[in-house]
Chains A and B, each alone.
Chain A
Amino acid sequence: MNTATIESPEERAAHEAKTVYHVAESGQGAAISIKDFNLWYGEVQALYGVDMEIQRGMVTALIGPSGCGKSTLLRSLNRMNDLIDTLRIRGEVQVNNQDIYAPGTDVIALRKRMGMVFQKPNPFPKSIYENVVFALRVEGISDRAMLDEACERALKGAALWNEVKDRLQESALGLSGGQQQRLCIARAIAAEPEMLLMDEPCSALDPIATAKVEDLIGDLRGQFSIVIVTHSMQQAARVSDNTAFMYLGKLVEYGSTDKVFTNPLDSRTEDYITGRFG
């Protein structure tokens, strides 16, 4: 191990400040480039100088112990953190070479390009159909044929079509938890975004529902660039191409999933995935 060569505390600190990279490249370039990104909630700094390029068309998993900033980072990508009044940031997040924190950025347009799936299924208290086509409705589309088509495509994409095709007009709240989460995925992909952000999408689901969602992520690979935050290292290993390990607000190691889980280059990564802390 290379950790053996580090001796003094200064050297150790300098080493810990640096991120280890060994990213598997998709060949299509970066979907999102995060450059020296710092974030504060009030006086508390939550992210420290994150540099990261998310590969287009691949699945990127964010792992790390609770409170390490992985959800914060994910929610920074479509500016969901804007809802917090005391938020301050420094650095850049570029989507298609545009800094999304630049003044004058159209946040609504940005969010339309990024579907998001949350920790808890959060279907709207509307019919299944209206849930799926919500993003299209807010864009002002009311052409019935177009909505019908988008609804069917999204539900098929979320592997839910066969289960709900006969009761599209029933309330979405009547679905089971796993179905609700897949409905939320369908809702997120209905407006054909470029990216899909998933914030621990399986943490409220049972193993069978989890397996279905994971299969779905596999199916969606290639169509979307997917960023998934997860607490389950098995899940990260199963579904992702690249894995980023975060610790105390810093990006520690970012590289191909195989290597992170079999031969991590940073000792903290190794400690975490072998279960020594977190």
Chain B
Amino acid sequence: MSNEKQGRAVRRYTADLSAVGEPALWGFGGALALGIILICGFLLMIFWNGMSTFWPKPIEVVTLTSGDKVAGEPSRQGFYKPREELLQDLSAEKREELDSNEGLVSRTLYRTGNYDLYNEDFRWVSEYEVESVEYDPEFHYFERQEWGPFVGKIKSVIIDGREHDPASLGFDRIEDEQQAARDRFAEIHRIERVEIGKINYELNQARLELRRIEINDGRDSEAYRNELERVELLDVELQREYRQLQERADSIKDEDARYRIVLEEVGGMTNETPLSQIVRFYPANDLSIFGKLGVYLSRWAEFLTSEPREANTEGGILPAIFGTVTMTLLMVVVVAPFGVITALYLREYAKQGKLVAMVRIAVNNLAGVPSIVYGVFGLGFFAYTVGGSIDAIFYPERLPNPTFGTGGILWASLTLALLTVPVVIVASEEALSAVPRSIREGALACGASKWQTIRTIVLPHAMPGVMTGLILAMARGAGEVAPLMLVGVVKLAPELPIDGFAPFIHLERSFMHLGFHIFDVGFQSRNSEAGKPMVFVTTLLLLGLIVLMNSSAIYIRNRLKKKFAGSQF
């Protein structure tokens, strides 16, 4: 009896650590925390680098021990181990300092600009070479239309052919003149691009029409002779207009040539530039906080609203924003009906069996195919096969120049639609299967046909789930770059896919894309160091754009969801 009691008392009512799972819990929490830290760190880095790029930095004028002078924006710092022979003629004091640092030397990368004079944009300056650093308020930072930035002083300003001393004019006056010169520059650009572009377009259209008639009716036909006559008349007329415009542009150019600025770099070399080539300039060391803010905002404005210059490392990225948004929206327009209809058939109409199961597996596998494979398919099938046929049938007069038979925004959108359709199909199928059976039965019992039930009850109910799939597809599509490089993305697109010439939407045109822009600026440009800040700003913008598109889609989805709140009785 007493033994039995003892036996019972031995039993402990506690659980050991492995049963409670506490160590596993720490692991889970740790993994989550690590993930969050990685993502936040990444976002913070992009955000900080992106937001700070356009903030004007001071110009340091560095006097070296050799007597040379270097002026530039300090861009970044680093350590390196110099070779012995470089250090031989150092003073004992500096050597000692070096040795205490384990032989490592701090150095600073200066953005010196003046590529036309120095043949380089950046220069490393080691700490031991530095004699003194000063912030000369005379130094300005000039952003030029070409040749990158210039760092130096204003030696003189030539206004209307007469030379002036910059001190007597004052900064504001020079800035006014520069603005006026920029306006002239914009006017020349407008005449050459828009008005002369229009004449070229009309002329080209007329020639294509002539060529079309030649192909259809032959050279000896009545129609061809009439058209030839018309084209020749038009040609004369357009040439006259062209000369008028050219004259106008030339007169503005002549005027522009009389407004110039002479810049002097730190070593005394000078450079004379038309004032209109200066995009923006500011006295970097003599700028109030509001002055800096003004420069900062004006750089952002330029970035968001203008075209790129300097091989994409300077200027704006409007065409890339436009291309990305247009392509993504086009993709959604294609992928939404395609994916939803497929899911509807698979879920609602197809007889559930082996075949359907295999189709499902295939669809899921499609989502795992490397995206470059889609690019190859898009190029081979859409551009060359479909586009080639379209060209042969509808645009024979333009051959051998391809119209649709090469990469373009339409083929890029279709390729991405193909890439993202599995996501939409899977999400839509899930949403459809989540529609309660009782509601379908209710509709059927009211005498609704299967299609009426699907259209009026099932589809609206599944809409939030379908939207979730579309959002995922959009996020994937907007960020995809690899396949686009094969089917229509270019480094610099001369024309936007939507413009003022009929038929206004040109789906055959190649386009610019933010993702490709990042790759191009960061890794394909002449001077990747100069492009680096742009990489971060563009990445920030791409992220921002995707967040914007997704949050508007989520907003729409939530509004839909609200309609169905409480439907689970």
Q: Give A contacts to B, CB under 8 Å.
A: 78, 80, 83, 85, 108-109, 111-112, 114-116, 118, 120-125, 134-135, 137-139, 171, 173-174, 177, 180, 184, 187-188, 191, 204
Q: Is A139 within 8 A of B447, CB to CB?
A: yes
Number of A-B contacts (CB under 8 A): 82
* Complexed CA–CA distance, A112 and B447 (Å): 5
Within 8 Å by CB of B441, from A80, A114, A123, lies A80
Q: What residues of chain A lie closer than 8 Å to B17, measured between beta carbons? A: none
Interface footprint category on B: 20 to 34
Tell whether A122 pairs with B436 under 8 Å between CB atoms, given A173-B566, A174-B566.
yes
Q: What residues of chain A lie closer than 8 Å to B446, measured between beta carbons? A: 111-112, 115, 134-135, 138, 187-188, 191
* Complexed CA–CA distance, A173 and B569 (Å): 8
Q: What residues of chain A lie closer than 8 Å to B436, measured between beta carbons? A: 122
Q: Per-residue 0/1 for B375-403: is the Cβ within 8 Å of any A Cβ (1 yes, 0 no)? A: 00000000000000000000000000000
Tell whether A124 pairs with B439 under 8 Å between CB atoms, given A108-B447, A138-B446.
yes
* Complexed CA–CA distance, A92 and B16 (Å): 66
| B456 within 8 A of partner (CB) | yes
Q: What residues of chain A lie closer than 8 Å to B565, measured between beta carbons? A: 173
Nearest B residue (CB) for A78: B445
Tell whether A122 pairs with B447 under 8 Å between CB atoms, given A171-B563, A177-B569.
no
| B444 within 8 A of partner (CB) | yes
Name, among B351, B439, B444, B564, the residue most crowded by chain A CB atoms within 10 Å (CB to CB). B444
Q: Is A125 within 8 A of B445, CB to CB?
A: no
CB distance from A109 to the nearest CB of B (A): 8
Within 8 Å by CB of A134, from B438, B443, B460, lies B443
Q: What residues of chain B lie closer than 8 Å to A121, measured between beta carbons? A: 569
Nearest B residue (CB) for A118: B438
Q: Is A138 within 8 A of B439, CB to CB?
A: no
Q: Per-residue 0/1 for B460-495: is the Cβ within 8 Å of any A Cβ (1 yes, 0 no)? A: 110000000000000000000000000000000000
Q: Is A111 within 8 A of B447, CB to CB?
A: yes
| B442 within 8 A of partner (CB) | yes
* Complexed CA–CA distance, A188 and B564 (Å): 22
Q: What residues of chain B lie closer than 8 Å to A116, measured between beta carbons? A: 441, 445
Query: Which of chain B's residues 417-456 have a Cβ closer than 8 Å to chain A?
Result: 436, 438-439, 441-449, 452, 456
Tell whether A111 pairs with B569 under 8 Å between CB atoms, given A120-B438, A122-B439.
no
- Give me 18 A-to-B residue pairs in the complex whose CB atoms sit less than 8 angstroms apart, sorted by A's number: A108-B447, A111-B446, A112-B446, A115-B445, A122-B436, A122-B438, A122-B569, A123-B442, A125-B461, A134-B443, A134-B456, A138-B446, A139-B447, A173-B566, A173-B569, A187-B442, A187-B446, A188-B445
Tell whether A120 pairs with B441 under 8 Å between CB atoms, given A134-B446, A188-B446.
no
Q: Is B457 within 8 A of A124, CB to CB?
A: yes
CB distance from B153 to the nearest CB of A (A): 72
Q: What residues of chain B lie closer than 8 Å to A191, measured between beta carbons? A: 446-447
Nearest A residue (CB) for B351: A85
Q: What residues of chain B lie closer than 8 Å to A135, measured between beta carbons? A: 446-448
| B3 within 8 A of partner (CB) | no
* Complexed CA–CA distance, A135 and B443 (Å): 8
Q: Is B448 within 8 A of A138, CB to CB?
A: yes
CB distance from B439 to the nearest CB of A (A): 5
Q: Is B445 within 8 A of A80, CB to CB?
A: yes
| 6 closest A-B pairs by CB | A112-B447, A116-B445, A122-B438, A135-B446, A122-B442, A138-B448
| B119 within 8 A of partner (CB) | no
Q: Is B441 within 8 A of A122, CB to CB?
A: yes
Nearest B residue (CB) for A174: B566
* Complexed CA–CA distance, A68 and B361 (Å): 39
* Complexed CA–CA distance, A152 and B447 (Å): 20
Nearest B residue (CB) for A181: B569
Name, among B439, B448, B461, B564, the residue most crowded by chain A CB atoms within 10 Å (CB to CB). B448
Q: What residues of chain B lie closer than 8 Å to A108, measured between beta carbons? A: 447-449
Q: What residues of chain A lie closer than 8 Å to B2, measured between beta carbons? A: none
